[in-house]
């Protein structure tokens, strides 16, 4: 069994219809599941940025990176596995609560520098921002309570200093 | 100011014509009528085919024999989906091709309109790139970009999908059309450090072999390769698509390697200490199990496509870039070594393990092919279909020039032979074009006989009729204990009558003693296409053979006494 590693890939692509399909097909053809995917406009409107997280063995992934870079609509694709990059994710947690548990939940959110974005009779909605590991840690803390919904944006990242991201 | 206006379709044809395109292959339909309307009085020559798959293979054969891109133009829906096999064929073999598909009018796209198909979505995995034209003003830029992408770097098919309202729209002919391809690099610069490393490995090798592929032909590197070979005395094996890139008749040519390669090519690879792959991609029909492929040899890989480096076989040195430029640079770094004993070794293998077949008894396909090659000479252009006859042709046809051997390699598309020969004849009107086809393959696209007849193309079709899907039958015989399933082509038509229905002259040969006489008569036939049906031994098998999943060392040189059974 080949060793599976988590890869974080950033791409600078043309902002055109169909580009996402072309990129996704490179992963699908080798049976790679995309763990998370973020697409948004880049600083110039002609381009978009993509951040993709996928798990798989090194050799297949390096072939896939070459295949991504071969796509005409991909300006650049870079794998940041093992690199120290600035990485952020945002998550919204909707937790069921009683007047008794609400304080406890809010205290925990405070520890994680979370924000309360909504509150109802028996729910509280929290926003947690940070590295994906932090969101996972908060997720663990919330498990004893009833998590009604959890929405995560997926990872965005940027290279440090003058290094270009993709 | 009066602006000069044309339909987007007319402007598109003008751009194609200015770019050196001469022929358009296809069949019209509702959503491509504006394009066909523009063809009415246009200098581009329309070749009306009988099926869209035929159109793609004709364009393919045209491109392979001329080195120039050619254009397929079909309608939406089934017209477009019928091209997918041909697009895959072109993609696998790196053929420059432009496929223009009509599409439903813009407001109807996505609404399951009549003859609507998401051909962009369907073709993503088999094109080098594709476009949907949504603004008619973009047509000129898109067609130029599409041709640029199709023909540069590693060539490949590019699809342009044009809604009917877009092709019919009026556009200003003088629109500026800057190419806008920030993500496309045609050919990477050659890294001199890697080139020196390659030269050092070659200079130090005692038993080197060059594996010459399609890239040598696509980049016109034959002359540079010959200089390298003559200087260094390195033997060359040419892949199925690389055939002709180095002359078959050269004393250092080993012919085809791999599954049905020559024994001496495979033995040379197995015993080599260095394999230099130039424009070849370590195809599984050559390498078998990559982990066990020629483990004692170091490997150098010259390729224009970075994706191919390390894809199948880990290499010791990779030179990324155009093969001809790389070889022209390389030669200065090369120092001839002492390869006399290696060359002698190869010569003795060639003597001990020649390609052979039985000339007595029933007529053999190999016999026809060898005789044809002798009569036609090494300058002949040979197009093949896919199957046993293709492998025998690869073994016994002597090809001395690139672009003279046309065969579907990567995709192995049955039905390729006849239409590719039609494209080849249109590209090279003065050459004699031979299409070697099998009875199975031929029946997949024989409707194009009409296209050959109406265009008076003097193609010589040599049909190997063994009334079987022979290659599958061979596998069932060797590895599935003779359980023949789905391979008996009972009910084949009378091929001579079939040819005559299309007004094509037919010849039939059944006996070995008649081979030469019949072929000569066919070669002398000068009134349009002709078909030579060779009724050949039904149960013949292609040897040598490396079974799937085995290593080159396990090659079976001669037919086994008892068939192997897959456990």
Domain boundaries, chain B: 5-172, 192-352, 365-543
Domains B5-172 and B365-543 share a fold: yes
What is the predicted pLDDT for the residue at A62?
92
Minimal Cβ distance to A21: which of B124, B132, B183: B124
Minimal Cβ distance to A72: which of B125, B129, B305: B129
- Sequence-distant (≥ 6) Cβ neighbours of residue B442 within 8 angstroms: B385, B415, B417, B418, B461, B463, B495
Which CATH number describes the domain made up of B5-172?
A: 3.40.50.970
* Contact (CB<8Å) A66/B306: yes
* Contact (CB<8Å) B124/A67: no
* Contact (CB<8Å) A25/B124: yes
The owner of tokens 């020649």 is: B354
Helix pair angle (B417-427, B52-66), 10° resolution: 50
Alpha-carbon distance of B372 to B378, in angstroms, equals 10
Report how far apart the first and last C-alpha atoms of chain A are (Å, whole number).
31
Residues within 8 A of A (CB atoms), B 174-193 only: 181-184
Which one, of B382, B383, B393, B385, lies nearest residue B357 by Cα? B393
Residues in B closer than 8 angstroms to A25, CB to CB, are: 124-125
Alpha-carbon distance of B179 to B148, in angstroms, equals 9
What is the predicted pLDDT for the residue at B564?
53
Alpha-carbon distance of B86 to B61, in angstroms, equals 11
| Residue of chain B whose Cα is closest to the Cα of A67 | B307
Q: A25 and chain B: CB distance < 8 Å anywhere?
A: yes
For B24-44, b/e burial (b = at least 16 CB within 10 A) is: bbbbbbebbbbbbbbbeebeb
DSSP letter for each residue of B225-275: HHHHHHHH---EEE-TTTTTSS-TTSTTEEE--STT--HHHHHHHHH-SEE
Q: What is the pLDDT along chain B (567 residues), one digit of tens a residue?
A: 566 899 999 999 999 999 999 999 999 999 999 999 999 999 999 999 999 999 999 999 999 999 999 899 999 999 999 999 999 999 999 999 999 999 999 999 999 999 999 999 999 999 999 999 999 999 999 999 999 999 999 999 999 999 999 999 999 987 777 889 999 998 899 999 999 999 999 999 999 999 999 999 999 999 999 999 999 999 999 999 999 999 999 999 999 999 999 999 999 999 999 999 999 999 999 999 999 999 999 999 999 999 999 999 999 999 999 999 999 999 999 999 999 999 999 999 999 999 999 888 899 999 999 999 999 988 899 999 999 999 999 999 999 999 999 999 999 999 999 999 999 999 999 999 999 999 999 999 999 999 999 999 999 999 999 999 999 999 999 999 999 999 999 999 999 999 999 999 999 999 999 999 999 999 999 999 999 999 999 999 999 999 988 999 999 998 876 655 554
User: What does the pLDDT look like over A140-149, one tens digit per residue?
Assistant: 999 999 999 9
The domain defined by B192-352 carries CATH number 3.40.50.1220: yes
Contact predicate B468/B538, CB 8 Å: yes
Diameter of chain B measured on Cα atoms: 85
Contact predicate B422/B392, CB 8 Å: no
* Contact (CB<8Å) A70/B132: no
Residues in B closer than 8 angstroms to A70, CB to CB, are: 305-307
The owner of tokens 């599958």 is: B472
Task: Identify the burial level of B338 via C-beta atoms within 10 angstroms of its C-beta, where 0-12 means exposed, 13-18 middle and 19 or more buried.
Answer: exposed
| Residue of chain A whose Cα is closest to the Cα of B123 | A22
- B232: left (phi > 0), else alpha (psi -120 to 50), else beta? alpha
| Angle value at C-alpha B132, between B131 and B138, nearest 5 degrees | 85
Q: What contacts 24+ positions apart, CB below 8 Å, involve A30-33?
A: A30/A56, A30/A60, A30/A63, A30/A64, A32/A56, A32/A60, A32/A61, A32/A64
Which active-site residues of B does the annotation give? 52, 114-115, 164, 471
* Contact (CB<8Å) A73/B183: yes
* Contact (CB<8Å) B125/A66: no
Helix (H) or strand (E) holding B211: strand B208-212
Return the residue in A16, A72, A76 with the most chain B beta carbons within 10 A, the one to mutate for interface testing: A72
Q: How close is the nearest chain A Cα to the Cα of B110, in Å?
A: 14
Q: B109 and chain A: CB distance < 8 Å anywhere?
A: no
Q: B361 and chain A: CB distance < 8 Å anywhere?
A: no
Q: A117 and chain B: CB distance < 8 Å anywhere?
A: no
Percent of chain A with pLDDT over 70: 99
Residues in A closer than 8 angstroms to B121, CB to CB, are: 18, 21
Alpha-carbon distance of B305 to B221, in angstroms, equals 16
Q: A69 and chain B: CB distance < 8 Å anywhere?
A: yes
Q: B114 and chain A: CB distance < 8 Å anywhere?
A: no
Q: What is the ipTM of this complex?
A: 0.92
Could you tell me whether strands A34-41 and B460-465 are parallel, antiparallel, or unpaired per DSSP bridges? unpaired
Beta bridge partners of B533: B463, B508
- The helix/strand/coil state of A165 is coil
The owner of tokens 């293709």 is: B390
Q: A16 and chain B: CB distance < 8 Å anywhere?
A: no
Alpha-carbon distance of A139 to A93, in angstroms, equals 8
* Contact (CB<8Å) B309/A74: no
Helix (H) or strand (E) holding B149: helix B139-151
What is the predicted pLDDT for the residue at B567?
42
Alpha-carbon distance of B438 to B466, in angstroms, equals 8
Minimal Cβ distance to B307: which of A22, A63, A74: A63
Tell me the three-class secondary structure of B276-339, residue by residue: EEECCCCCHHHHCCHHHCCCCCEEEEEECCHHHCCCCCCCCEEEECCHHHHHHHHHHHCCCCCC
**Interface contacts A/B by beta carbons within 8 Å:** 41
Report how far apart the first and last C-alpha atoms of chain B are (Å, whole number).
80
- The helix/strand/coil state of B26 is strand
Q: A22 and chain B: CB distance < 8 Å anywhere?
A: yes
Return the residue in B183, B187, B320 with the most chain A beta carbons within 10 A, the one to mutate for interface testing: B183
Verify cis geometry, omega within 30 degrees of 0, for the bond prior to B101: no
* Contact (CB<8Å) A18/B183: no
Spell out where B89-149 has E strands.
Answer: 97-103, 129-132
Helix pair angle (A132-142, A99-111), 10° resolution: 160
B365-543 CATH fold? Rossmann fold (3.40.50)
| Residue of chain A whose Cα is closest to the Cα of B309 | A63
Tell me the three-class secondary structure of B321-377, residue by residue: CCHHHHHHHHHHHCCCCCCHHHHHHHHHHHHHCCCCCCCCCCCCHHHHHHHHHHHHC
Range of A28-32, A78-82, B56-60 with top mean pLDDT = B56-60
* Contact (CB<8Å) A29/B125: yes
Two tokens, residue B77: 């829906």
- Residue B334: CB atoms within 10 A of its CB come to 18
Residue-range domains of chain A with CATH: 4-83 (3.30.70.260), 86-156 (3.30.70.1150)
Q: A13 and chain B: CB distance < 8 Å anywhere?
A: yes
Return the residue in B182, B184, B306, B318 with the most chain A beta carbons within 10 A, the one to mutate for interface testing: B182
- Residue B271: CB atoms within 10 A of its CB come to 17
Runs of H (alpha helix) within B28-74 = 33-39, 52-66
* Contact (CB<8Å) A72/B181: yes
* Contact (CB<8Å) B184/A72: yes
Alpha-carbon distance of B481 to B445, in angstroms, equals 32
């Amino acid at each position: 069994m080949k060793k599976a590693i988590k890869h974080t890939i950033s791409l600078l692509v043309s902002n055109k219809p169909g580009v996402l399909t072309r990129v996704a097909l490179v992963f699908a053809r080798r049976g790679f599941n995309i763990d998370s995917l973020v697409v948004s406009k880049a600083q110039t409107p002609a381009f978009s940025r993509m951040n993709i997280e996928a798990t798989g063995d090194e050799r297949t992934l390096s072939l896939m990176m070459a295949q991504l870079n071969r796509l005409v609509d991909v300006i650049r694709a870079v794998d940041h596995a093992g690199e120290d990059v600035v990485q952020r994710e945002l998550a919204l947690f909707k937790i069921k609560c009683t007047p008794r548990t609400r304080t406890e939940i809010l205290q925990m959110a405070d520890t994680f520098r979370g924000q309360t974005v909504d509150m109802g009779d028996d729910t509280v909605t929290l926003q947690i921002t940070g590295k994906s590991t932090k969101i996972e840690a908060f997720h663990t803390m919330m498990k004893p309570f009833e998590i009604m919904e959890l929405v995560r944006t997926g990872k965005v990242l940027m290279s440090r200093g003058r290094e270009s991201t993709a | 100011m009066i602006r000069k206006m044309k339909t987007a379709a007319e402007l598109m044809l003008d751009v194609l014509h200015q770019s050196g395109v001469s022929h358009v292959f296809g069949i019209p339909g509702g959503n491509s009528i504006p394009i066909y309307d523009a063809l009415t009085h246009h200098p581009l020559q329309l070749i009306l085919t009988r099926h869209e798959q035929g159109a793609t293979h004709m364009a393919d054969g045209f491109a392979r024999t001329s080195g120039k891109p050619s254009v397929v133009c079909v309608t939406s829906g089934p017209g477009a989906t019928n091209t997918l096999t041909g697009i895959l064929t072109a993609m696998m073999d790196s053929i420059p091709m432009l496929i223009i598909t009509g599409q439903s009018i813009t407001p109807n796209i996505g609404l399951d309109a009549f003859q609507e198909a998401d051909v962009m979505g369907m073709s993503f995995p088999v094109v080098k790139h594709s476009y949907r034209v949504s603004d008619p003003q973009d047509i000129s830029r898109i067609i130029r970009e599409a041709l640029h992408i199709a023909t540069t770097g590693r060539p490949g098919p590019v699809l342009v999908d044009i809604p009917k309202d877009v092709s019919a729209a009026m556009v200003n002919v003088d629109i500026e059309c800057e190419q806008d391809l920030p993500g496309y690099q045609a050919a990477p610069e050659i890294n001199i450090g890697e080139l020196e490393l390659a030269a050092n490995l070659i200079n130090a090798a005692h038993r080197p072999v060059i594996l010459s592929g399609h890239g040598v032909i696509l980049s016109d590197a034959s002359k540079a390769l010959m200089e390298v070979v003559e200087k260094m005395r390195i033997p060359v094996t040419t892949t199925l698509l690389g055939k002709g890139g180095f002359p078959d008749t050269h004393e250092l040519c080993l012919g085809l390697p791999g599954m049905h390669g020559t024994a001496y090519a495979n033995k040379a690879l197995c015993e080599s200490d260095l394999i230099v792959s130039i424009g070849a991609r370590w195809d599984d029909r050559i390498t078998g199990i990559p982990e066990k492929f020629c483990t004692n040899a170091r490997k150098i890989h010259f390729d224009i496509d970075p994706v191919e480096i390390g894809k199948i076989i880990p290499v010791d040195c990779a030179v990324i870039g155009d093969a001809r430029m790389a070889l022209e640079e390389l030669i200065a770094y090369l120092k001839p070594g002492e390869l006399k004993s290696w060359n002698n070794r190869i010569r003795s293998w060639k003597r001990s393990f020649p390609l052979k077949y039985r000339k007595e008894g029933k007529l053999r396909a190999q016999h026809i092919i060898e005789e044809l090659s002798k009569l036609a000479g090494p300058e002949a252009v040979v197009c093949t279909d896919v199957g046993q006859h293709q492998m025998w042709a690869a073994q016994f046809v002597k090809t001395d020039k690139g672009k003279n051997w046309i065969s579907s390699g990567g995709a192995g598309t049955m039905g390729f032979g006849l239409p590719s020969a039609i494209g080849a004849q249109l590209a090279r009107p003065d050459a004699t074009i031979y299409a070697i086809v099998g009875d199975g393959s031929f029946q997949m696209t024989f409707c194009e006989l009409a296209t050959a007849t109406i265009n008076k193309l003097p193609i010589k079709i040599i049909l190997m009729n063994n009334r079987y899907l022979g290659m599958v039958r061979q596998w069932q015989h060797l590895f599935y204990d003779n359980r023949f399933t789905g391979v008996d082509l009972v009910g084949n038509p009378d091929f001579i009558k079939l040819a005559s229905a299309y007004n094509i002259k037919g010849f039939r040969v059944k006996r070995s003693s008649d081979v030469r006489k019949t072929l000569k008569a066919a070669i002398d036939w000068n009134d349009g296409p002709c078909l030579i049906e060779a009724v050949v031994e039904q149960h013949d098998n292609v040897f040598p053979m490396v079974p799937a999943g085995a290593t080159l060392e396990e090659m079976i040189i001669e037919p086994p006494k008892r068939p192997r059974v897959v456990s």
